[in-house]
Amino acid sequence: MLSDSAASDDWHTPAELTPLEGSEAFRGMDGGTVLDFWRYALPDLRTNTTRGLLAEFLVHRAVGAVARNTEWESFDVLTPDGLKIEVKTSAYLQAWGQRRLSEIRFSRLRGRTWTPENGDATEQSYNADVYVFALHSALTHADYDPLDIGQWGFHVAPRALVQATGQASLGLASVRRLCGGPITYQQLADRITACARRSLSTGGPTEAATTDA
């Protein structure tokens, strides 16, 4: 058992991450590889959790981000020039049977920051410079193709507009009022850059609609 002095003085810092390729084998089992684990953990790109990661991946690639953020960061994507991006995802269809299409809502727009040294912040805040609202637009399972990036529509807003709503979640009508119509993946990087300039040049929140039609 560690002494009180050892427990208080030691700081356990993880080693720098070495990206895996998939062919690495687990030791102590027969034939299992990292690729086998990936196939087990992420077999369906339509599930809520995995679809959210996929949207983050798309934004990550669009802006040329270098590495994936750690899970406890208060935003999702960090650009090479230090821009913080939050990615929110929604879809009409889920990975289970449903009687009607899902209501489109983007949640958890604000939250408490966390650090290993200090734990949770006392107050919730809006923690990104730019917010990307990613909507998967398929309306039938026959049409749903998780590998077709063209089925995504993106809305992008600077923090000032999102913060001005004072809301922790927004429906599609409010997002459209904030951002205008959806853009394609090919337009995403330029729109993020434009919103970043607006976010950096805005001294404070501006008026924004908050009521969903």
Does 209 map to a domain?
no
Name residues whose C-beta falls within 8 Å of residue 147's C-beta, 6 or more positions apart in sequence: 45
**Do 18 and 27 contact (CB within 8 A), yes or no?**
no
**Do 118 and 74 contact (CB within 8 A), yes or no?**
no
- Residue 197, pLDDT score: 85
Note the pLDDT tens digit of each residue in 166-175.
Answer: 999 999 999 9
Tally of domains in the chain = 1
CA atoms of 71 and 172, how far apart (whole Å): 26
Does 22 map to a domain?
no
- Does position 9 have pLDDT exceeding 70, yes or no? no
H helices of 74-170, in order, are 159-165
Note the pLDDT tens digit of each residue in 40-72.
Answer: 999 999 999 999 999 999 999 999 998 888 888
Does 9 map to a domain?
no
DSSP strand pairing (170-171 vs 119-120): unpaired
Q: What does the pLDDT average to over 86-114?
A: 95
Does 57 map to a domain?
yes
Does 21 map to a domain?
no
Q: Which domain holds residue 74?
A: 45-201
- Does position 30 have pLDDT exceeding 70, yes or no? yes
Does 206 map to a domain?
no
Does the predicted TM-score (pTM) go above 0.85? yes
Note the pLDDT tens digit of each residue in 130-148.
Answer: 999 999 999 999 999 999 9
**Do 211 and 141 contact (CB within 8 A), yes or no?**
no
Does 193 map to a domain?
yes
Does 15 map to a domain?
no
**Do 158 and 198 contact (CB within 8 A), yes or no?**
yes
Cα dihedral 123, 70, 116, 2 sign: positive
